[in-house]
Amino acid sequence: MAEVERSDDGAIRTLTLNRPDARNALNLSLLKGFRAELRATRDAPSVRCVVVTGAGRGFSAGADVKEWAEVAAKGVADYGWVEETHAMIEELATLPIPTIAWLNGTAVGAGLDMALACDFRFAAEDAKFTCAYTRMAYNPDAGGTWFLPRIIGLAEAKRFIFTGDPWSAAEALARGLVTEVLPSATLGDAVRAFAAKLAAGPTVAIRQGKALLDTAHTRSLREQLAAERKAGDICGESQDAGEAITAAIAKRAPNFVGA
């Protein structure tokens, strides 16, 4: 049984963490498999939106502490888990197309950091979220300290990390940690509908917009305006830009092909 399952529905690719008996804990082999899927997705022009979810009742329990303990018992201090996790998080966060975390249940520690690396987070009403590092007397080490302040603000990030208190889906929504909260029975349909909307959009423009947003903090306003103009030139040469003008003149909805 593959620890990461891939399924494609048109231009939407779903990657499922598939260790339900271990609550989709992130062992080394799963991390490598997931990272390989991300690399393959980056090189697949037909994929225009990615959904990440977990098999079973939860999204991910975070690091596989059982694997960590087994490795430590053998006297191995470092077996590459941190390096592989960091590479995977960076690969996911920099994927140029829209990404959605389908949080069908609890997300903890590095599992939550995976969700934070996505552009959007749709959560089930009974999902819970915990910065588990604190309870283990450890600091977040899978990107949480970078993502959380940007998503929920510095004060809320400090509250979440320092206390280690679990947040319900309702609390997570109120504090901006998740995008939407829905009943489990309708969550999948909502995620698929939103993914379909993104996948049907002008992919070149969405890619350029995502890149501009994700790197805006590295530039001054003048530099950002210059970057926007350069991105606009790329969009203007796309097939979808021509289709948008044609559709506007014909007073019909555009049919974007993602090129």
**Segments making up each domain of the chain, as ranges:** 4-199, 203-250
Annotate 195-258 with DSSP letters as a single string. HHHHHTS-HHHHHHHHHHHHHGGGS-HHHHHHHHHHHHHHHHTSHHHHHHHHHHHHTS------
pLDDT band for position 140 (cuts 50, 70, 90): confident
More confident residue, 41 or 68: 41
Query: Quick check: 46 and 259 in contact, CB under 8 A?
Result: no
Q: What is the pTM of this model?
A: 0.94
| Total number of residues shown for the chain | 259
- State the average pLDDT over residues 11-23: 97
pLDDT-derived band of residue 180, with 50, 70 and 90 as boundaries? very high
pLDDT digit string (tens) for 186-198? 999 999 999 999 9
User: Looking at residue 133, what is its pLDDT?
Assistant: 85
Q: Which fold has domain 4-199?
A: 2-enoyl-CoA Hydratase; Chain A, domain 1 (3.90.226)
